[in-house]
A and B are shown apart, each in its own frame.
Chain A
Amino acid sequence: MKTIEAIQEEIVEEFSLFEDWMQRYEHMIDLGKSLPLIKEEFKTDNYIIKGCQSKVWVHAALEDNKLNFTADSDAIITKGIIAILIRVFSAQHPKDILSANTDFIDQIGLKEHLSPTRANGLVSMIKQIKMYAVAFQTQLN
């Protein structure tokens, strides 16, 4: 099992191959296509992430002490962003998710998505993933 850091490095390397923003965005859009989709029944307000201009739903389930995430969004770029986050944080132990940093976002040239404007939800998505980790970590204790 790869560590969070290892996956992050992998993604940074992947993105470093691209020369311009268009290729980065195209790659991100492609990543969105491989997102493990949330079940339709969870696409409700309970699973929606507030603070995004587009709709994002994230669900988490614990299996063998590891958290597995599924998600979806009605916007393609947002779907790509959440896909990247899920690739990093899925199948990880809640306490590893809690201690992980997210500096890699900056390194893959998606820094503008980190600005705390109301339009984008990256900050809220990371917060929500960490909230799930807190909740399940409490269960494990």
Chain B
Amino acid sequence: MFDVNLLRKDFPILSREVNGQPLVYLDNAATSQTPKQVVEVISDYYYRYNANIHRGVHKLSQEATDAYEKARATIQKHFNAEHPYEIILTAGTTESINCVASGYASLLKKGDELLISALEHHSNIVPWQMLCEKTGAQLKVIPMTLQGTLDMEAFDTLLNYKTQLVFVNHVSNALGTINHIQEIIEKSHAKGAKVLIDGAQASPHIKADVQALDVDYYVTSAHKLCGPTGVGMLYGKSELLNLLPAYQGGGEMIATVSFEKTTYAGLPHKFEAGTPNIAGGIAFGAALDYMNEIGFEVIAKYEAELLAYATTALEKIEGLKIYGEALEKTAVISFNVGSIHPYDIGSILDQMGIAVRTGHHCAQPIMDFYKIPGTVRASFSFYNTFEEIDLLEKGIRRAVAMLQ
């Protein structure tokens, strides 16, 4: 039985005050809050078995290694990867993308094409631009529609046998649009292209099955789904990860080292140079356990109710325009009111203890498309309540009255 008030007790931060008002945290798409259960896993690691992993013969090192590898298995199971070694633990989505992009520097040639979507976060644009500069490959963009969805007809036209890689986010961070990744993957594969899906925004809401999707690379960050910052995942099919050159040199990623020749370790260690974020990795697993305990279907159902309620409430505000009106979207509302600058609304809401995001959300091309400086973005999580949405609505109305 889903009881939001009971769940909120797991998040001590939700009962704090901001500017003398109870906190209303609606910036979940930027980072989610961390439940006690996950924080306790981190402190337990440092209090009880902090040690470097994979190397030590002593007990603590073995315990730490076991916990870290158990977390990898949890992540593997959650995303339904075929093998645990297909899960590379990284510093987060951005590093995961850079790891793949840097690997392709030696695999691409002039004349190759990369296809990216107009809905991408800067971190899924810039690494590929850098890759194109290095290799002479060309970056093509799948355009978006006014509704905030991808123009799939244009996608069909742009995709061709020169296309080597396609990058799309599962869910747009700025608008909440859920992209048709299954269709994109199937069509791309038919032309021989590989697909990387940025799952950072989808992971807190949708349980992706990488085998069912037949996706080549899937990346995400733990801090979006109740885990800590500084840790994330790169899933890749093992045959592709084996082909991809190592990203960084260092400890852990080697088999043997001499000054003449170093041989690299197998997966996943080839991509995990240096001492990793051990506590973070273990907590990533704990965060997935926590969310699976609640259940992703239950979460999706509740968040859909929150989204519908908030959309109805906000649409009643005169002059309020919602950006991103895809039929399928996660619990994100990106909006502006009249010609009021999003920064002004965000600043006033902050005074009322309501945390939202304002600005371009690291997706400037989307803002350019709509010819706006940015939006106010309220993003909801399963621990938000209908009462908080009422406060948001009231807050926006007050802000608008002050600013008009």
Contacts and interface: CB of A to CB of B under 8 A. Distances in A.
Given A112-B350, A119-B358, A53 B374 contact: yes
B11 interface: no
A26 interface: yes
A22 B359 contact: no
A21 B19 contact: yes
B351 A25 contact: yes
Nearest to A74: B341
Interface in B279-322: none
B348 A75 contact: no
A76 B344 contact: yes
Contacts of A55: 373
A77 B341 CA distance: 9
Nearest to A121: B343
B350 A77 contact: no
B348 A119 contact: no
A102 to B, nearest CB: 19
B351 A21 contact: yes
Interface string A78-106: 10000000000000000000000000000
Contacts of A22: 351, 402
Given A53-B374, A119-B343, A119-B359, A76 B19 contact: no
Contacts of B402: 22, 25-26, 29
B344 A77 contact: yes
Interface residues on B, range: 10 to 19
Contacts of A112: 350
Nearest to B360: A53
A57 B61 CA distance: 57
A68 interface: no
A95 B221 CA distance: 50
A112 B350 CA distance: 10
B403 interface: yes
Interface in B335-362: 340-344, 346-348, 350-351, 358-359
Contacts of A76: 340-341, 344, 403
Interface in A23-80: 25-26, 29, 53-55, 74-78
Nearest to B339: A74
Given A21-B351, A74-B373, A75-B344, A29 B403 contact: yes
A55 B341 CA distance: 10
A53 B348 contact: no
Contacts of A119: 343, 346, 358-359
A22 B403 CA distance: 11
Contacts of A26: 402
Given A22-B351, A74-B373, A54 B341 contact: yes
Nearest to A52: B343
Contacts of B348: 25, 77
A58 to B, nearest CB: 17
A73 B79 CA distance: 47
5 contacts: A25-B348, A53-B342, A75-B341, A77-B343, A112-B350
